[in-house]
Structures are given as C-alpha cells and as structure tokens.
C-alpha cells in the first residue's frame, strides 16, 4: 500500500521545502538592494555611468509656495565629495523621462568621448550652463564632486540649498506627477569649447578616483516638516508607492482578526484541509507583518529593511501557491467526496504545482534583478510573468475539469451546493489576476504599482475570508468528510460508498461498530482498506509529530489513528467529533 510510505514521503517533501527555503534565504542577500529614497554609496569614475534612482515626484499643489508649511515640491539634496582632487569635475544629472531616454540610450557607445557628446547633444540645448547656455531654464546638472564643507560650484546662493547639504534640486510640476531619474556620468564640458568629453582618469590619476555620495529624495520640504504637517505616508515615498503603508496597515488589522479566529477553528475541528488553509493564512499574515515592518521603517528613514521586504514577498508567494493547492485538492473532491487521492493524482498534482511555485519565485527574482528599472514594465509584462499567468490559467481549466468530474459523481445536495459555491468563488480568484495584469498594461506606471498591489491583496484577503467561512467548523461538517471524527455519521459514508468511482471497498468492516475487530484489522492486515482510509488524509499532511498534538487535546479530530491503540478508544471516540454534524 502506498499510503504506508506517506509519512516518509511527507518528510522528504518537508526536507525539500526546507532546503529550498534555506537556498532562498541565502539568495536574499544576493538580490540588489536599491529601492531606497536615501542613497549612499561610492561611484568610481572608471565605471563611466551609474544609474542611481528613479523617483516619482507628486504633482505640485497650485497654492504651494516654497518654504511654507504647504510646500509640496519635490526635493533632491545631499553631499557629493571626493578625497581626490579632480582636474575637471564630472556630472550629476537629474532628468525627467523625456530627456532621460536619449541620454540613457547613448551611454554604451564604445568610444566614451563620442558617448558623452551624444548623451548631452539634446540636453545641451535646454540645460542651463553659465558659460555655454546662460539663457536656458532647465537646471538639471551639477558638477561633482563638490569641495568638502562648501556648496557645489553650480549652487549660487545658500538659501536655495537645504541646510546641511551641498546641492539641492527643487522639482515642481503643477500638472502631473512625474518620474525623475538620477544618475552620474564621467563626462565633463570644456567651458571654452562647450564640447562634452569623457573624463579619462588615466591622464590625471594613477587609480580611478572615487566619489562618495549621500543623496536624499523626498516629496515635501525637508526643512518645513513640522509635526502637524509632516505626512510620513508621503514624505519618503516615491509617488507610485505613496499610501502603501495604510494599505498594509489595513490588511495587517484584518489578518490580525482572522488568524486567531482560524486558529480557534482549527483547534475545534482538526481536518487536513483546515490545517493546510491555516498554514496558508499564517504565511500570508507573516508576509504582511514583514512588509509592514519594512514600510514603517522606510517611512521613518527612507531606507527601510530590504531583506524583510524580500522575505515578505516570498512568504506571500508561498501563501498564494499553497492556497491554490487547497483549491485543487478540494476540486478533486479530497475530503469532500473521498478521503484519499490516488497516487497518480498526487504525482500529477505535485508535478504541476511544484514547478508552478518555482516559476513564481523565478518571476520574482527575475523582476528584481533582470528587469531594467527604466523600462517601466511591471512583473506581468516579462516572459516569466506571462508564464505564471499562463500556468495559472491552465490550472484554472484543470480545476474546472476536476470539479466537474467530482460533481458528476456526487449526489448529496448539500455537497453539490458546497461545490457549486466553492467553484464559483474559486473561479473568480483564479481569473482575476490575468484580467488585472491585462488592465495594468494600459495604466500609467505611476499608478500601476498601487493598483496591482491593492487588487491582488484585496482579492487574496477576500478569498481567505470566503474560504474561512466555508471551512468554519459548524458549516464544514455538512460537506467535508471529517477523517475518523465521526463513525456515527454513517449516512455520509454510505453516500460515499455509492459514488461509482469508489470501487473495491470492504464495507462490512466499515460498518462494524466493534472496535476490537477494527483494531485487529489494523494490527493484522496491512492491506486493510479501512484503516488506510482512516490514516490517509492525515498522513498526507502531517508526519508523526502532529499525532501528539491530536492525542494531547483529546478532542478527537483528524488524529484518530492513535486512539486505535487504546483498545476501546475507537468507540469512545465516536461521539466526540459529532458536533460537526449537528
């Protein structure tokens, strides 16, 4: 009997998951960590070009005035120094998308001198320069590094600079919120010819000189953040991520209510589906906690804790995929119309589900490492993204097919009703993501992040609520087969036996109320169908350790097999789980 091996198999699965988890844990350190609004680092000029940050600045309020409480300008300020004296300064560029794209596209020219000229060709016409373009308006460039303890050469008055910093860009756009792109490049303009050239350090220095930077990007005036006007939900956040803190806070509160309720429910009614669901819910709760912690820290210092954020995202992925596993298992009729699933079905399920998890994680890593931040695409516009959506849609079709098969052989109207409701709500859950991903393509990237985050989190939260309602102990007893909890509920088992797809069953023994007989069978006959039936569902999910939990509480539930050893305990156990059938 294959079920005999299941505890061992489960152990392997658990071990595999643990190994995967450790790999991921190690991998977290490798992922790039540059999503903060407070940037510190070192730029070595032999690197030629360094993209620093993309930041969304909010739309400036009409009555907004600089240095008032209502200042809604965007500010970029900080220090840029070097311990080496540069012969000529290189360039810090803060550009909006229009001017940035061409500048960025030309950075890779093999001849660096040509690259510099091309990058600044268009910009030269619009950017202010005291020597070469004194009538232009746009103030996009700074010559760096600046002399320690002094303002940068391009800053003319102290008033325009945020105290304690060497340079300040003030960003205002009364019409629309906009992304701005901060970068450094080893190019300089010869003030006598107005030509751009590559700063070839080999001519002046034995080693590539390093430039240290400490730059902060904020929405709102950093000087005027008095307590009453300081808005921590907006200040450090790029426009596309403003107010995400509230969102996480709301979900945190919702899950804070749901998790204890569900833990109460799972203690009341021990059932593998309920347990798997609890695991999924707890994973989601942990994920929200981690993300909330990161976001709160980010709101305070503009840096946050990127490791927590990555862990949170990965917990979220595992929570969602395990939820999908529950849906697939229920659609197969597991614990609803049958207590065990054939080994081939399990293999098929795992062969599809495990790669699905893997692709999901791959998409996440890909999205963080490979996707060019300039490109403005979200995770579902990359090929792993499409792959995940395709997999999800395929799983949905499979889910429907399984559900149809299950319903065809089900006669109990309560169960049919359950399956119908369950199927409909699951279908909504399956289908929403592809639809949202398609809609998101047409949404401005300034709004897309919040849209995707809000919709996916709300939909998942709703799905958890619905599932929690469906699996709530009193209701669930009407349609879920509760392993071993209730042998008095024979009508349930009779229906079960009538189902044509259940072949070969030793129903005589099943109906025997003689505990001793069952125990004898259990001890003597390795191939007995009944105790396989009793053992199976639980074993699939829980290895030996969980039995202790079940027997300790003494309230019956899915851990019944232990009580078989107590002789008369089988009869004793009959009434206990019966509350579910009231």
The footprint of ligand NAG (CB under 6 A) covers 79, 84-85, 88, 149, 164-166, 190, 192-193, 214
- Residues 235, 224: Cα–Cα separation, whole Å: 12
Q: How many CB atoms lie within 10 A of CB 202?
A: 9
- Residues 191, 121: Cα–Cα separation, whole Å: 15
Q: Is the Cβ of residue 79 or residue 426 nearer to ligand NAG in the bound state?
A: 79
- Residues 436, 130: Cα–Cα separation, whole Å: 49
- Torsions phi, psi for 163 (to 5 deg): -55, 140
Q: Is the Cβ of residue 82 or residue 340 nearer to ligand NAG in the bound state?
A: 82
Shortest distance in whole angstroms from residue 188 CB to ligand NAG:
7
Shortest distance in whole angstroms from residue 186 CB to ligand NAG:
14
The CA-to-CA distance between both ends of the chain, in Å, stands at: 35
Burial label for 62, CB within 10 Å (0-12, 13-18, 19+), is exposed
- Residues 288, 294: Cα–Cα separation, whole Å: 10
Shortest distance in whole angstroms from residue 230 CB to ligand NAG:
20
**Buried-exposed string 493-521: b where 16+ CB fall within 10 A, e elsewhere:** bebbeebeeeeeeeeebbeeeebeebbeb
Q: Is the peptide bond prior to 145 cis by the omega test (within 30 degrees of 0)?
A: yes
Distance (Å) of CA 284 to CA 100, 291, 393, 498: 39, 11, 22, 39
Shortest distance in whole angstroms from residue 158 CB to ligand NAG:
11
Q: Is the Cβ of residue 198 or residue 360 nearer to ligand NAG in the bound state?
A: 198
* Per-position DSSP letters for 517-549, written without gaps between them: HHHHHHHH-TT-HHHHHHHHHHHHH--THHHHH
Q: Is the Cβ of residue 149 or residue 552 nearer to ligand NAG in the bound state?
A: 149
Q: Is the Cβ of residue 161 or residue 289 nearer to ligand NAG in the bound state?
A: 161
- Residues 323, 315: Cα–Cα separation, whole Å: 12
* Residue 241, helix vs strand vs coil: helix
Q: Is the Cβ of residue 221 or residue 412 nearer to ligand NAG in the bound state?
A: 221
Shortest distance in whole angstroms from residue 103 CB to ligand NAG:
21
Q: Is the Cβ of residue 29 or residue 149 nearer to ligand NAG in the bound state?
A: 149
Q: Is the Cβ of residue 117 or residue 559 nearer to ligand NAG in the bound state?
A: 117
Shortest distance in whole angstroms from residue 433 CB to ligand NAG:
43
* Residue 85, helix vs strand vs coil: coil
Q: Is the Cβ of residue 199 or residue 429 nearer to ligand NAG in the bound state?
A: 199
Shortest distance in whole angstroms from residue 319 CB to ligand NAG:
39
Shortest distance in whole angstroms from residue 75 CB to ligand NAG:
14
Shortest distance in whole angstroms from residue 116 CB to ligand NAG:
12
């Amino acid at each position: 009997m294959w079920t005999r091996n299941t505890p061992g198999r489960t152990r392997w699965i658990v071990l595999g998951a643990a190994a995967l988890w450790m790999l991921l844990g190690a991998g977290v350190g490798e992922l790039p960590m540059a999503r903060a609004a407070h940037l510190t680092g070192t730029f070595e000029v032999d690197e030629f070009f360094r993209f620093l940050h993309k930041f969304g600045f909010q739309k400036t309020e009409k009555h907004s005035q600089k240095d008032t409480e209502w200042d809604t300008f965007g500010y970029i300020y900080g220090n840029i120094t070097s311990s080496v004296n540069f012969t000529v300064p290189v360039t810090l560029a803060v550009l909006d998308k229009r001017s940035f794209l061409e500048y960025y596209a030309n950075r890779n020219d093999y001849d660096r001198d040509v690259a510099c000229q091309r990058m600044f060709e268009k910009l030269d016409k619009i950017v202010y320069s005291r020597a070469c373009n004194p009538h232009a308006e746009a103030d996009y460039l700074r010559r760096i590094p600046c002399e320690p303890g002094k303002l940068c050469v391009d800053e003319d008055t102290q008033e325009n600079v945020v105290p304690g910093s060497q340079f300040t860009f003030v960003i205002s756009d009364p019409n629309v919120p906009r992304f701005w792109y901060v970068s450094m490049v080893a190019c300089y303009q010869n003030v006598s010819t107005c030509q751009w050239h590559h700063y070839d350090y080999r001519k002046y220095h034995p080693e590539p000189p390093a430039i240290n930077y400490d730059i902060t990007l904020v929405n709102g005036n950093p000087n005027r953040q008095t307590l009453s006007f300081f808005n921590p939900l907006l200040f450090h956040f790029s426009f596309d991520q403003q107010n995400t803190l509230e969102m996480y806070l709301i979900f945190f509160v919702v899950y804070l209510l749901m998790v204890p309720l569900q833990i109460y429910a799972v203690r009341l009614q021990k059932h593998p589906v309920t347990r798997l669901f609890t695991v999924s819910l707890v994973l989601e709760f942990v994920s929200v906690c981690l993300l909330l912690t990161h976001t709160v820290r980010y709101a305070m210092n503009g840096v946050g804790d990127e490791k927590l954020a990555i862990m949170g995202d990965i917990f979220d992925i595992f929570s969602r995929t395990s939820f999908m596993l529950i849906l697939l298992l229920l659609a197969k009729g597991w614990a609803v119309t049958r207590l065990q699933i054939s080994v081939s079905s399990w293999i098929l399920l795992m062969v599809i589900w495990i790669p699905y998890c893997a692709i999901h994680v791959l998409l996440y890593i890909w999205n963080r490492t490979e996707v060019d931040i300039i490109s403005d695409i979200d995770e579902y516009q990359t090929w792993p993204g499409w792959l995940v959506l395709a997999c999800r849609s395929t799983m949905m079709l499979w889910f429907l097919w399984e559900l149809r098969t299950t319903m065809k052989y089900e006669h109990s109207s309560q169960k049919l009703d359950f399956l119908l409701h369950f199927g409909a709500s699951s279908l909504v859950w399956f289908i929403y993501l592809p639809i949202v991903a398609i809609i998101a393509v047409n949404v401005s990237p300034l709004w897309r992040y919040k849209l995707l985050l809000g919709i996916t989190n709300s939909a998942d939260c709703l799905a958890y609520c619905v599932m929690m309602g469906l699996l709530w102990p009193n209701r669930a007893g009407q349609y879920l087969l509760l392993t071993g909890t209730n042998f008095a509920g024979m009508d349930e088992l009779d229906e079960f036996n009538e189902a044509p797809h259940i072949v070969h069953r030793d129903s005589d023994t099943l109906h025997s109320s003689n505990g001793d007989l069952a125990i004898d069978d259990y001890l003597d006959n390795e191939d007995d169908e009944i105790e396989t039936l009793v053992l199976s569902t639980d074993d699939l999910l829980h290895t030996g350790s969980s039995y202790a939990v079940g027997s300790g509480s003494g309230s019956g539930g899915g851990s019944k097999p232990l009580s078989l050893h107590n002789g008369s305990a089988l009869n004793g156990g009959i009434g206990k789980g019966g509350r579910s059938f009231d």
